[in-house]
Amino acid sequence: MSNCARMAATKKVAALKAEMPCAPEGVKEIGYAEDVFTRETMREYLSKDTWKKLMQTIDNGQPLDPSIAGEVAHAMRHWAMDRGATHYTHWFLPLTGSTAEKHDSFLELKDGEPVMAFSGKNLIVGEPDASSFPSGGIRSTFEARGYTAWDPTSPAFIKRHGNGATLCIPTAFCAYTGEALDKKTPLLRSMQALSAATKRLMHCFGKGDEKVTITLGPEQEYFLIDKAFYLQRPDLVMTGRTLFGAPSAKHQQLEDHYFGTIKMRILNFMNEVEKELWRLGIPAKTRHNEVAPAQFELAPMFEELNLSCDHNMLVMEVLRQVADRNGLVCLLHEKPFAGINGSGKHNNWSVAYGGVNLLNPGSDPHQNAIFLTTLCAVIEAVDKHADLIRASVATAGNDHRLGANEAPPAVMSIYLGDQLADVISQLEKGAPKSSKHAGTMKIGVDTLPSLPKDATDRNRTSPFAFTGNKFEFRAPGSSASCSAPNVVLNTVVAEAMNRIAGELEKAGVVGKAKPGEHTASFHNALQKILQDIVKSHKRIIFNGDGYKADWLAEAAKRGLPNTPTTPEALKAYTRKENVAVFEKAGVFSARELESRYEIAMEDYTAKVLIEANCALDMVKTMVLPAVRQEYREAISAYNETDASNVKCAIDVLHDEVVRLASGLTATTDSVARLEDAVRNADPEAAIVEMSTLRKEVDALERQVADEKWPLPKYREMLFVY
C-alpha cells in the first residue's frame, strides 16, 4: 500500500472517529418491535373475530381461513402506511443463501384516479420470476413461473431505507409444480415432522396434546474493517476473504482481544445495530470482542425456530448496512483472514412440549424419563446421520474453518460432559444408581441421578455439545442461513423419536395406566430401548479435545465419517437411505433433495473459480508489477555496488536479487498452473494452486518495500479500525 494511500486511509479513519458521538443514542426512545406487525398491533388493527382466527393459525397451526385475508391485508397496509411505507414486498429465502424481494407500490388506478390498495390475494400469493433463481434442475430458464406464499407465523415487518420504507411479508417460495425453491419451506416441513413425532412420543408417556415449540438461539460472529482498506482489496470485494496476506507480527497470540474493552467506534456501531434490531423486534442480548483482532459477536435470545432463522438473515443484513453507514465493512465470510480464527454461527437448538423443555432434566421421575428419552433420541439421530449433519454446513467458505484449531472438526461427535456421560455409561450396563455430583431421581422402579442445571462444562472443540438444556451445534458457518442444519436436525431427531415411540407401541405397554403413571412393563420396555440406543450409538459420544490429531485416529477406529471437504460431504444428500428419511418425513422429495445437491455443488465450484480468477488478476496486475519494480531496483543497486570500489555489501545485495528472482519465477510458474486449473474448471486443482500461489506471494510481501506493496496489510486491516 503506497504511503499516499495509507495516509488517506488513516485520515479517513480519524475523521470518521471524530464524527462519531461520544454518547450514542440509546434504544429507549424506540419502541420494541415498533416496525413489526405484532400480535398486539394486529389486535389494534383487526376485528376481534379475525384476530382470533389468525391467532389460531399462528399459535396452533390451524389452516389459514382465506376469508380473513382481505381484512388482514387492509389492516396491514394501513399500519404500514402509518409507519411511512409506500411499497410492499414478499420477502423470501431463495437457494442463493441470501434474501430476495421485489417491491410493488400500493398505488393502483381506479377510474383513472390513483388509490392506495392492497388485496388479500396480494398478501397471500405473489408471483416472482423463478427462472433466474437456483433450482438444481427443477425449473428450466424458459419456465419462469414461481409463487411466494404468505407465512403468517413470521410477522410482517418494515424495512427503512433513506427517506422511504417498505412492508416486508415473510413468504415461502415454490415452483409452478409446487416443489420448494427456498429455505423456508423445508424448514416448516421439518418442524411439522418433528412436532408430530414429539407428540407421538409424548402420548406414549401419557401426555395430552400440547404445542411443540422448537427454539433456536444463533450466535453470530463477524469481522469489521475500515472501508478504506476494504476497497483497496479486490479479494475482499469479490470473495469476502483475503486470498493473500502475510501474518501480522501480532495477531491473536496474546489472547487480549477476547472480551476486551470495545473501542468507541465499534461500540457506537453496535449501539446503532441494536437500535435497528430493537425496532425489528429482534432480541439482541450479547455483544463482545471475539478471539481474533477485529472480530466480534452478537447473540440474540432464544426464539421459535422459523422466526429465529428469519431474524438471523435480518441480523446479517443490518450488520452490513450499519457498518457501511459508519465507514466500516462487515465481513461474514467464515475465514476472511488466514492464520487467525474464522467466524461461525453457533446453533443452539432445543425442543419443548407444552412449554416444558424436553432437554431440561426435571424434578420428578416422570419428567426425567422424558428427558433421558429425548437425549437418547438425539444421540441416535446424530450418530445414524452424522453424514447429513456434516453436509448441512458444507460450503467453500466453511472448509477453511472446520478443523482449523478454532472450530470443531469435520468429524461429527457429541459432547455430554462427565456427569451425563456417567449416566449414559450406567444406563448401558443397567439401571443407573448414582451420580458423580448429586442425589438421585427415579424413572419408575429404576433410579437415575439428579441432574442440576449446568451439570456439564463447555467443550469448544465439540461440533455438537450438550450445554445444560439445549444442544449447541458449533459447525455452521457465519455467512450461512440457519435453515439447512435445522432442517436436517429436525428430520433425523423426528425419525429417532418415531422409532422409539413405535417400539413402545409395539411392545403393548402404552396407554395401560393413568396419565403420569406407568406400569413396570412400560419402564422395562423403555429402559431396554434406551439401553440398546446407548450400546448401538455410544461411539458418537466424545468428551475430549476435538482439536487433537489423535481424535481423528480414534474417530476412524470408531467408524465415524470424516469428510473435510464440501464435495465429499455433499454426497450424503445422494445416498438412497438418506433420501428415504427425508421423503418419509415429508421434508424433501427425491427431486428436491437432488436439486439441493446440484445447487450446493454449483455454488462450491463457482466460488472456488471466482477466487482463482480474482487471485490471478491481483497477482498479474498488482503484485508482480510491484515485485518487478523492487527487482529492478535491487539489480541496479547490485550493479552500482559491483562497479564501485566498495565491495563489502555485494554478497548481501546479490542474495537479495536472487531471492526476488526466485520469488518472481516461482510466482509466475504458480500463476501458469492456476490458469490451467481455471481453464479446466477444476476446483480441486485450483484450491491446491491457490494455496501454493499464496505462499509465494506472502513471502514476497515480506521482501518488497512497504511503500511499493499494493495491498493493505494484515497489520493495518486488523488493527486500524
Least Cα distance to 374 among 528, 567, 530 occurs for: 530
Query: Tens digits of per-residue pLDDT, 519-529?
Result: 788 988 999 99
Query: Tens digits of per-residue pLDDT, 127-170?
Result: 877 677 888 888 766 666 788 999 999 999 999 988 899 999 99
| CA 700-701-707 angle, 5° bins | 125
Strands, E assignment, 312-453: 328-331, 345-353, 356-357, 414-415, 440-443, 446-449
pLDDT at 9 over 70: no
CB contact set of 384 (below 8 Å; sequence gap of 6+) = 492, 495, 496, 537
Q: What gap in Å lies between CA 365 and CA 363, rounded to an integer?
A: 7
Predicted pLDDT of residue 19: 45
Strands, E assignment, 418-479: 440-443, 446-449, 464-466, 471-473
- Look at 328-332, 509-513, 612-616 and tell me which has the smallest mean pLDDT: 509-513
**Higher per-residue pLDDT: 271 or 547:** 271
Averaged pLDDT for residues 256-270:
94
Q: What gap in Å lies between CA 137 and CA 147, rounded to an integer?
A: 17
State the pLDDT confidence band at 368, using cuts at 50, 70 and 90. confident
pLDDT at 497 over 80: yes
137 exposure class (CB count in 10 Å sphere: 0-12, 13-18, 19+): exposed
Is residue 212 within 8 A of residue 305, CB to CB? The reply is no
Beta strands 414-415; 464-466: pairing state: parallel
Query: Cα–chain-centroid distance for residue 275?
Result: 22
The top-scoring range by mean pLDDT among 413-427, 514-528, 610-624 is 610-624
Phi then psi for residue 125, to 5 deg, are -135, 135
Rounded to the nearest 10 degrees, the angle between the axes of helix 305-325 and helix 264-279 is 140
Query: Tens digits of per-residue pLDDT, 703-717?
Result: 999 999 999 999 999
Instruction: State the DSSP H helix or E strand holding residue 161, giving kind and residue range, or none if neither.
Output: strand 157-161
Q: To the nearest whole percent, how much of the chain has pLDDT over 70? A: 89
Predicted pLDDT of residue 516: 55
Query: Tens digits of per-residue pLDDT, 19-43?
Result: 443 434 444 578 899 999 999 999 9
What DSSP string runs through 309-337?
Answer: HHHHHHHHHHHHHHHHHTTEEEE--S-SS
Q: What gap in Å lies between CA 512 and CA 498, rounded to an integer?
A: 20
pLDDT at 419 over 90: no
Query: Tens digits of per-residue pLDDT, 546-583?
Result: 888 899 999 999 999 999 999 999 999 999 999 999 99
Name the DSSP letter for residue 572: G
State the pLDDT confidence band at 446, using cuts at 50, 70 and 90. very low
Residue 276 carries which side chain, given as an amino acid letter?
A: E
113 exposure class (CB count in 10 Å sphere: 0-12, 13-18, 19+): exposed
Averaged pLDDT for residues 246-263:
92
The top-scoring range by mean pLDDT among 362-376, 553-567, 641-655 is 553-567
Averaged pLDDT for residues 505-533:
82
Residue 611 falls in which region: left (phi positive, over 0), alpha (psi -120 to 50) or beta:
alpha
Q: To the nearest whole percent, how much of the chain has pLDDT over 90? A: 74
Query: Tens digits of per-residue pLDDT, 215-242?
Result: 999 999 999 999 999 999 999 999 999 9
Predicted pLDDT of residue 517: 64
| Total residue length of the chain | 721
Least Cα distance to 697 among 235, 335, 244 occurs for: 244
Predicted pLDDT of residue 596: 96
State the pLDDT confidence band at 426, using cuts at 50, 70 and 90. confident
pLDDT at 366 over 80: no
Q: What gap in Å lies between CA 23 and CA 13, rounded to an integer?
A: 19
Is residue 121 within 8 A of residue 109, CB to CB? The reply is no
Is residue 414 within 8 A of residue 464, CB to CB? The reply is yes
Q: What gap in Å lies between CA 652 and CA 631, rounded to an integer?
A: 14
State the pLDDT confidence band at 451, using cuts at 50, 70 and 90. very low
Tell me how far apart the terminal alpha carbons of the chain are, to the nearest angstrom.
Answer: 16
Residue 236 falls in which region: left (phi positive, over 0), alpha (psi -120 to 50) or beta:
alpha
Strands, E assignment, 239-357: 284-289, 295-300, 303-304, 328-331, 345-353, 356-357
Mean pLDDT score of the chain: 89
CB contact set of 457 (below 8 Å; sequence gap of 6+) = 417, 418
pLDDT at 423 over 80: yes
H-assigned helices in 507-573: 520-537, 549-558, 566-570
Averaged pLDDT for residues 63-76:
93
Q: What gap in Å lies between CA 581 and CA 385, rounded to an integer?
A: 10
pLDDT at 530 over 90: yes
Q: What gap in Å lies between CA 680 and CA 675, rounded to an integer?
A: 9
